Chains A and B, each alone.
Chain A
Amino acid sequence: MFEIVEARFLAQDIKLFKIYSPPIARKRKAGQFVIIRVTETGERIPLTIADSDPGQGTVTIIVQGIGKTTKELNTKAAGDTITDIVGPLGKPSHIEKFGTTVSIGGGVGTAIAYPTAVALKKAGNHVITINGARTKDMVILEDEMKAVSDEAFITTDDGSYGIHGFVTNKLQQLIDEGRQIDFVLAIGPIPMMQAVAEVTRPHGIYTVVSLNPIMVDGTGMCGGCRVQVDNKVQFACVDGPEFDAHKVNFRNLVNRNRVYHEYELKSLESYEHRCKLNKQADALKATSV
């Protein structure tokens, strides 16, 4: 059992957790992930590490409640426990002094772009960050991103905050302005990462994406997370999770990630049904007292 030391919502359905695991907190590097299991009957899901505090012994993850496991996790509060956390897994981000770098985070992907932006800054780069969100209330880590950026931009799809438009609009604008960009890291929904890859491809800007295929063990044993990169099979858990965006077969990634879609819906439905029944039972208990 692993204790949740801190838990707070950053935006609607997006929650930050600090989980007590000193060895992982001490060891992790930007770009790596953990696998967690929330309960004894739970599935194993990979989550990229957003931050850690070796002194406190905690690992920070930021989670958007979408499916059964993430919604169940988001009901947890400080003092609660999860059954398992293991890591740090995957290869760390490749960090060097590139020159000018652009870190792009879409939605909760910002949580993953953040530690790499920190590392890029530490390595002496001129760090530009672009954070995209659907709407103002969904913007996360604004202050943290600002603190590590030489230039920080926010885009919202509906124009309710920052620049009206997508992250790719801002990136395109920087390129069109003739800015020298040496490295782009994009993390977020697959269509966003693919769109970023298409923006930088004609300019030959080295672009890396962090992939999120379905995983089971996370140590190379099952091969479920295999992705096609440069027409070769790679295991995201041990060969990645970061890959050259211009060589990734995104279509295959989307299709493989969809394979359990109906099961995920069923799992969520059965979970929410149980939650509802529990609430009704609690209400009954309350009235009978």
Chain B
Amino acid sequence: MAEFLPPKERTKLPRQVMPEQDPLIRAHNFEEVNLGLTKEQAILDAQRCLQCKKPTCMDGCPVEIKIIDFLELVVEEDFLGAARKIKEDNVLPAICGRVCPQETQCEAKCVLAKRFEPVSIGRLERFVADYEMSKGITSEIPRIDKKGKKVAVVGSGPAGLSCAGDLINMGYDVTVFEALHELGGVLVYGIPEFRLPKEIVRKEVNNLRNMGVEFKTNVVIGATYSIDELMKEEGYSAVFVAVGAGLPWFMNIPGESLAGVYSANEFLTRVNLMKAYKFPEYDSPVLDCKERRVAVFGGGNVAMDAVRTALRLGAKATIYYRRSEAEMPARDEEIHHAKDEGVKFEMLTTPIELLGDENERLHSMKCIRMELGEPDASGRRRPVPIENSEYIEPVDIAIVAIGNGSNPLISQTSPDIDTNKWGNINVDGDTMRTSKPGVFAGGDIVTGGATVILALGAGRQAARGIDEYLTDGSW
């Protein structure tokens, strides 16, 4: 069994590079891009941890995983123990190890990051979670007295799953309601296979099922049942609303209703959830991207997912973003991956009109060049159009990836749940309580479009809030 080296030796070890599929090969398939650290690499990278007396890495983690403890177990080659340690705080490590922006969270807070490179915390989380899965180990029904109270979780995305996992561990009976026919929310309809294999999501969901969580697909809360019906007729003592950011935003420019214009949500849902890349084996089609010019508008992770998906379907794929690369909200890793694969980037450019033929089929777009002006409310420099810089560019398919508003179904049917002017649900930041007694909310429906780990954190926080409420009963 390995032991920690003296601290000086540890800092000499290089950060391990995760093997990945060759960019030119992966640009044509939907297999996962990152291949995961090897066992030897994992031990070497975990060796680099200085095991700080006062670790700062945990401060960067929204769910406060006991990072140095699990790294120590990796060094001791107790990978299953390491996985258990992570699961004390995060029920979905195989997912978070893949999609968390560690570079701005735990790894940014690693003391090594100041003079060297940080420990590969995210890659190690992924390694131990995958190791546990590969051994066929699944979670079991927690050995805890049942509380005899039912909690409904609305939405099976990251916030819903983490909340369900914590509540079942606390002894509650938990039912998760999902509107779509498959479980996982954005993890299955939004994030593509090459970044997060759906098999991983299925296994994590199955783990929760083995722990006793009940899942119901094809149920839309706000349509099939209202929240009041869940509480008054179906016997749920509390409800956690985690329905995500629902409604895609469009740019409000002429031509957005042309055939050939997609929201990123629709494009990704067709390909990921409905498996349109296997048409006609699967019934749902997506417009043929082969050799077509596909333009994706936006600079976030969803834009990267959409453009890299189009590329894999054979497109000549380009990102159009109105600011410069430095302001792009997408993770650096995603931007680099997209570039390596052959995605073109048109920075400081935005479409102002989409143009079509007599059958309203998109064929080109009018764009305008931008320059950066003074910083705006977000602190980023505001893009300002350059006069007389308009030009026309041919395009076959356009994908709008500029973010999502909030889904109106819950607020329409439960007007006693307070929302802000964007339709996001207002909650107490500590307890996650909404204005409606017994109802809690978290994830993108509260924050607007954010990250998987923030949603997971919100789910955990809500579980604590629900437990507190159901224990003492006061609101």
Contacts and interface: CB of A to CB of B under 8 A. Distances in A.
B360 interface: yes
Contacts of A266: 280
B414 interface: no
Given A43-B274, A267-B280, A233 B250 contact: yes
A220 interface: yes
B359 A258 contact: yes
A217 B257 contact: no
A267 B179 contact: no
A228 B257 contact: yes
A202 B180 CA distance: 43
Given A87-B223, A252-B257, A266-B280, A216 B274 contact: yes
Interface residues of B, number: 41
Interface string A207-241: 00000000011011111101110000101001000
B314 to A, nearest CB: 16
Contacts, number: 124
B355 to A, nearest CB: 14
B210 interface: no
A283 interface: no
A226 B223 CA distance: 20
Given A216-B266, A223-B247, A87 B274 contact: no
Nearest to B275: A41
A222 B223 contact: no
Interface string A28-59: 00000000010001111000000000000000
A232 to B, nearest CB: 10
Nearest to A251: B360
Interface stretch (B282-290, B327-335, B445-453): B282-290
Contacts of B262: 224
Contacts of A235: 247
Contacts of B359: 255, 258
B380 interface: no
B407 A219 contact: yes
Contacts of A3: none
Interface string B265-308: 11001100011000111111101000000000000000000000
Given A23-B225, A238-B407, 18 more contacts: A84-B181, A85-B218, A87-B223, A216-B266, A217-B189, A217-B269, A219-B179, A219-B220, A219-B409, A220-B246, A222-B263, A223-B247, A224-B262, A238-B408, A252-B257, A255-B361, A259-B287, A271-B280
10 contacts: A27-B223, A41-B281, A43-B283, A86-B181, A221-B246, A221-B407, A224-B266, A251-B360, A259-B260, A266-B280
Interface of B: 179-181, 189, 217-220, 223-225, 246-248, 250, 256-257, 259-260, 262-263, 265-266, 269-270, 274-275, 279-285, 287, 359-361, 407-409
Interface of A: 23-24, 27, 37, 41-44, 68-69, 83-89, 216-217, 219-224, 226-228, 233, 235, 238, 249, 251-252, 255-256, 258-260, 263-264, 266-267, 270-271
